Amino acid sequence: MLATLTDWLWTYVLIAALLLVGLRFTLASRFVQVRLFRAMFAQLWVSRSVGNKQGISGFQALLVSVAGRVGGGNIAGVAVAITLGGPGALFWMWLIALLGMATSVFECSLAQLFKRRHGDNDFRGGPAFYMRYGLGWRVMPVVYSLLLLVTLGLGFNAVQAYAITQSVESAFGVSAWQTGAALTTLMAFVIFGGIRRIAVFSEFIVPLMVLGYFGVAMTVLIMNISQVPSAFALIMSSAFGFDEVIGGGIAAAVMQGARRGLFSNEAGLGTAPNVAAVADVAHPMSQGLIQGLSVFIDTIVLCTCTAMIILLSPLYQPGAEGVEGIALTQRALATHIGPIGEPLVSIALVLFATSSIAYNCYLGENSIAYFDISPKITINCFRLAVLALIAWASLQDMTTIFSFSDLTMGLLAVVNLVALWALFPVGMSLLRDFEARGGVSNSTFDHSRLPQQNLDPESWPLVESLAKTE
């Protein structure tokens, strides 16, 4: 029943919703993800100079979101997509990511616009907040917050924990329960430190893991440069059913590409806006553009790296049964660079997944903060529950873990996409205001230009004054 309900949701509802919302923002903004691609890097540079006494910097917010987006989905998820949907699944991951870049720009900008002060030195925001304060909804923010708590705090963390233990066991022969115990101890130290410790952790670990994994993938491509064109040709032919190496043909490619793409980059899911809202930036669109860049890094760059490692390996045989999941990526890399390949992938996965778990925990805490019910006690209980789940998931099977997370992820995305559709005019107003003010370092947000919006007067005047004093 779980699998049937999940398949129905993805087949008839979610893929269409992702494409419609992504296309609407893409076309109305005149391809903002392409047209302002250079501005994404410019905003990233500017954001490092903005003070972070009242939150984290825009650069730190990017690293935290990349830490969350870049996880087991980039290594294990891509392998699962290729195994079940064929090489063509990667094309549909690219398409979802391209449209998702536009979606992410606007959902993160809206999260910035409707954020609220939380304590003396922090902000809170995200889909629940723009549903409540931007649309005046009261029931849907509660539904979204509960789904976020279950999906990210529990479901996604279970996937990451499972991927880590299976990878370490395959590469190093360490039993799942031992890895699970060590992982639980490490994550207890990180998540009990709150968003600032998570940001510091991400600032150290994310550049290391992204550049390291990218470097390994580039080595593989250079070693097999003559086979790269044929690998891309296989992806394209499989994507449209011209080379149906998988039983489901084009339907399987689309389905797996969309599922694993959304799981990997989370664009439209509403998760990254929770972190984007915490950033201390001069204009809401600034953080939106920065977060669009994180989708590009996650899927267009890193998921493609994993796919090339697999498709250029003699271990991958189209349509043949054999090694799958994380083990496929590990052993594929070993065929390229020797026995060291398997432990290298395992180390990369541990870094990717631990940073994702820290990120997911913060998102769960953010959903709890929305309810404002004894937040300190409740959040500590949630952290303990997450640690218990990590230990439990270490010993489970892949089918159970992915089925649960796919269902709750689909429901979470539907709720968020409905809100984004309703807030489309506000998002476009933000983009026009941003571009009218210069589009880079001169874009300081004047909240009086949107007087009809229910903005927090304790948030935006502070951000505006900080930007003007730089």
Do the Cβ atoms of 283 and 449 come closer than 8 Å?
no
Domain count, the chain: 1
Q: What is the pLDDT of residue 242?
A: 61
Cα–Cα distance for residue pair 69/61, rounded to 1 Å = 12
Q: Is residue 17 part of a domain?
A: no
* CATH code for the domain of 231: 1.20.1740.10
Are 319 and 246 within 8 A, CB to CB? yes
Region of poorest pLDDT, from 167-181, 310-324, 325-339, 358-372? 310-324
Angle between helices 284-295 and 37-47 (to 10 degrees): 120
- Residue 321 pLDDT: 54
> Is residue 104 a contact partner of residue 386, using CB atoms and an 8 Å limit?
no
In a domain, 35, yes or no: no
Handedness of CA 113, 118, 123, 124 (dihedral sign): negative
In a domain? residue 42:
no
Please indicate, yes or no, if residue 444 is contained in any of the structural domains: no
306 or 403, which is more confident: 306
DSSP one-letter string for 356-410? HHHHHHHHHHHHHHHHTSSHHHHHHHHHHHHHHHHHHHTTS-HHHHHHHHHHHHH
Range(s) of the domain holding residue 191 = 50-436
Q: What is the pLDDT of residue 443?
A: 63
* Residue 470 reports pLDDT greater than 60: no
pLDDT band at 417 (very low <50, low <70, confident <90, very high): very high
Asked if 254 contacts 16 with a C-beta cutoff of 8 angstroms, the reply is: no
pLDDT of 232 above 70? yes
**Residue in 241, 298, 303, 239 with CA at minimum distance from that of residue 271:** 298
Nearest CA to 309 out of 221, 211, 411 is that of 221
Query: Is 285 domain-assigned?
Result: yes
Instruction: Give 124's strand partners.
Output: 116
Residue 469 lies in a domain: no
Greater confidence (99 vs 247) lies with: 99
pLDDT for 49 equals 54
pLDDT at 57 over 80: no
The SS3 call for residue 133 is helix
pLDDT at 448 over 90: no
Judge whether 195 lies within some domain: yes
Q: Is pLDDT at 130 greater than 90 in this prediction?
A: yes
Phi, psi (rounded to 5 degrees) for 116: -130, 150
- Give the per-residue pLDDT at 23: 93
Q: Is 13 a domain residue?
A: no
Least confident interval from 132-146, 148-162, 280-294, 319-333: 319-333
Helix (H, G, I), strand (E, B) or coil at 116: strand
> pTM for this one?
0.83
Residue 463 has pLDDT above 50, yes or no: no
Q: For residues 196 and 277, what is the distance between their CA atoms, to the nearest angstrom?
A: 14
pLDDT at 275 over 80: yes
The arithmetic mean of pLDDT across residues 198-205, rounded, is 72
Q: Has residue 28 got a pLDDT over 90?
A: yes
- Tokens at 424, concatenated: 């489309």
Of 38-52, 286-300, 327-341, 350-364, minimum mean pLDDT range: 38-52
Q: How far apart are CA 107 and CA 122, in angstroms?
A: 20
Q: Which residue has the tokens 């404002």?
A: 372
Distance CA 209, CA 174 (A): 22
All residues at 6 or more sequence positions from 20 whose CB lies less than 8 Å from its CB, including other chains? 421
